[in-house]
Amino acid sequence: MRSALLSDLELARLSRPGTPDAQLVVELAQRTLDEVTMELPINHEIVASMRGVVRIEEAPIPVSGFLSVTADGLVITLRITDSRGRRRFTVFHEVMHTFLPGFGTQVQYRCTPGDQPMTRDTGLEQLCDLGAAELMFPRRAFTADLAGRRADLDLVEDLAARYDGSAEATARRVASLHADRTMLLVLVPGRKPSAPRERPQLRVRYAKTGGSWPFVPRHKSVPEDGVFGRALRGEMIDEIVSSLGALTSTAITDVHVSARSYPYVDDRGEQQMRVLALITPATSHRTRHGD
């Protein structure tokens, strides 16, 4: 039972001193799932109600969502223009705030790339994203679904349907948990912040890595005639690439690239272009699939 003065995370810290917060959040999410027998996909409304959320609303807001305390109880508000999978992840993110310090004293916002900036604790937001992934894509079931399958976008789309998640959130989970060393790149057309008048180019929004990979800087542009540019133009990339060029200071060579275009609707209701790419060592691809 949660103390009136301490959050679940703070109580967990006291019971297991020295344990990283990330590990404690994973365990808190798993404990929540253990409290209810539920078929996949995990029902976000039931999980939210277990944490005292009385209502989930949708509104034309400039962020993905927020959790607020009202006279009726806890209320989650979601951005109405987001896809169903993205809204579900936001619910789980806001649910995780109920485990962490401070959720009852101020509105808790979930901001994603492209959202209008809000004042927030980045460390807490990262913990909420971690916990949301654990709730939406339960670790035991998800790793079992990954077994024996290569990390590509066919797998992502299959699992996105099974877990009722967005392609991007599912791809992040695949990159985190796949047995093969995997990197997810999310790329969008845009200008470098230091050169706002330049012609827009396809650039790295962020990278999510599982295993050891060179650092990929944000806003790094990629060639229009390369695999990522071809994916932006509608090609379904599934090939071995000898080099990813100057994407990083340390060369990335001999990799398998699965890349596709996944447009999305922003907070203004406008369609924006986006490329998702999963990258794995070509050696593991050849060994597993006989290429």
Q: For residues 164 and 162, what is the distance between their CA atoms, to the nearest angstrom?
A: 6
Cis peptide before 41 (omega within 30 of 0): yes
Torsion of CA 31, 33, 37, 41, to 10 degrees: -170
E strand or H helix at 286:
helix 282-289
**pLDDT (0 to 100) of residue 289:** 37
Q: Which residues contact 119 (CB under 8 A, 6 or more apart)?
A: none
Range of lowest pLDDT (26-30, 113-117, 194-198, 248-252): 113-117
| pLDDT tens for each residue of 215-272 | 999 999 999 999 999 999 999 999 999 999 889 888 899 999 999 999 998 888 899 9
Mean pLDDT along residues 6-28 = 97
- The closest of 56, 61, 58 to 268, measured between CA atoms, is 61
Q: How far apart are the first and last CA of the chain?
A: 54
Tokens of 92: 């789980």
Tokens of 140: 């035991």
Mean pLDDT along residues 45-50 = 97
Mean pLDDT along residues 50-64 = 95
Q: Give a three-class secondary structure readout of 203-226.
A: EEEEEEEECCCCCCCCCCECCCCC
| pLDDT tens for each residue of 170-188 | 999 999 999 999 999 999 9
**pLDDT grade for 160, boundaries at 50, 70 and 90:** very high
Buried residues in 2-17 as b, exposed as e (16+ CB within 10 A) = eeeeebbbbbbbeeee
**pLDDT (0 to 100) of residue 36:** 87
- The total number of residues shown for the chain amounts to 291
Give the β-pairing of 253-261 and 237-243: antiparallel
Burial class of residue 289 (count of CB atoms within 10 Å of its CB; 0-12, 13-18, 19+): exposed
Range of lowest pLDDT (45-59, 71-85, 102-116): 102-116
Q: What value, to the nearest 5°, has the Cα angle with vertex 160 and ends 231 and 57?
A: 110
**pLDDT grade for 283, boundaries at 50, 70 and 90:** confident
